[in-house]
Amino acid sequence: MRVLFLAPNSPKTGNCTTAERIRNHIVAAGHTCVLCDTREFSSASDVSSLMTQEPRFEAALAIHLFKGGRLLLGDTSLVPFGVVFGGTDVNEDVKDEHKRAVMEEVLRKARFAVAFTDKLKERAKVLLVRNVRVHSSGFLQLLLLTCQSKLSAKVGNLRVFLLVCGLRRVKDPLYLLEAFAEWHSQNPLVVLIIIVPKVSKKYIPIFTKLYLAADLSQEELHAAMQKSFALVNSSLSEGMSAAILEAMDLGLPVLARDVPGNAAIVEHEVTGLLYTSPQEFVSLSRKLLDGRGLQERLVRNGKNYITACHNPMKERITYQKLVETLY
């Protein structure tokens, strides 16, 4: 079967990682899967035109109910399709009346909808969703190549707190800046490194008392994680953070902002630490620095959680079965 896969696919983002992973699952089942960035299309008619070209697509899949799902309405709705919640669609876009109406139409026509967590499923009930399949998204175990991290010269005896995100409002990358800068002035051995896929010059003067790195490869990013003390998430809203799951799998403690998407995969003081303010972040970070037992417990429980709930082979089988429903 030839499947069109639409996703917000900015390079080196969580959506990009998720889309590539799901595409690999579909291809592994013997199907042809063409992954396209939703930004390439201005309307459903553009997708419709693509659908009518030879060889024709027989089914479609989209990540994000509004950004991807809306492009599968119109004439293309005659092709069976499924959708995967992105996170911002259910957490943010639902607040917009127009977007909500579009997403409800997408859900009415979709053969299936996938939510990454139970909490995301419950949130989706706002859209009057019925029979949403809940699947904990796993991720491929990527081979960590032997490479020299760009950060190696800076690490040494420092305690590196690593924040991996895009420079978008919803990621709120500067949320911890003031509190961390004050903490750094008291303890120069703690540093915050922000890794972003692309840096705008207007942001550069703001980043004081921290390091900014851009355009790391997947291998370099994982190497940086392994050289860091903890993974930080400061997002205003999350669907499911791939960076958090990768950190857990690599044995890195996680400190995440207490928002629904993060709380769905991070259990406070069990698989990670959840904070509600910059001051609480610093307090918990100090506790983590001073508590070897806490570090070891979070790492152990985090890896166990990944094994139990985000097994990549189980995810592959699930998506392959879902694609079969589009025949």
Q: Among 183, 166, 283, which residue's Cα sits nearest to residue 235? A: 166
Length of the chain: 327
In CATH, the number for domain 159-309 is 3.40.50.2000
Q: State residue 314's pLDDT score.
A: 77
Q: What is the DSSP letter of 104?
A: H
pLDDT-derived band at 213, boundaries 50, 70, 90: low
pTM of the full predicted structure?
0.56
More confident: 267 or 151: 267
Q: How far apart are CA 78 and CA 194, in angstroms?
A: 44
Domain ranges of the chain: 2-139+311-325, 159-309
What the block records as the tokens of 161 is 């707190």
- Give 248-271 pLDDT, tens digit per residue: 999 999 999 999 989 999 999 999
Task: Average the pLDDT over 47-73 and give the result.
Answer: 90
Task: Average the pLDDT over 116-143 and give the result.
Answer: 55
Does the N-terminal peptide bond of residue 278 adopt cis geometry, omega within 30 degrees of 0?
no
Q: How far apart are CA 98 and CA 252, in angstroms?
A: 41
* pLDDT of 104 over the 80 cut: yes
Residue 67 makes CB contacts below 8 A (sequence gap 6+) with: 8, 38, 86, 89
- Element containing residue 113 per DSSP (H, E): strand 112-115
Q: How far apart are CA 265 and CA 240, in angstroms?
A: 8
Task: Average the pLDDT over 190-208 and give the result.
Answer: 61
Q: How far apart are CA 39 and CA 36, in angstroms?
A: 9
CATH topology agreement for domains 2-139+311-325 and 159-309 = yes
Q: Among 95, 34, 44, 98, which residue's Cα sits nearest to residue 68? A: 44
Rounded (to 5) percent helix, strand, coil in the chain: 45, 20, 35
- Give 23-53 pLDDT, tens digit per residue: 988 898 888 999 999 999 989 989 988 888 8
* pLDDT of 136 over the 50 cut: no
Concatenate the DSSP letters of all residues of 203-242 into one string. TGGG--SEEEEE---HHHHHHHHHTSSEEEE--S--S--H
Q: State residue 134's pLDDT score.
A: 52
- Element containing residue 160 per DSSP (H, E): strand 159-164
> Domain 2-139+311-325 maps to which CATH number in 3.40.50.2000, 3.40.50.300, 3.90.1820.10, 3.40.50.11240?
3.40.50.2000
What the block records as the tokens of 36 is 């396209």
Q: What is the overall mean pLDDT for the chain? A: 80
* pLDDT of 284 over the 90 cut: yes
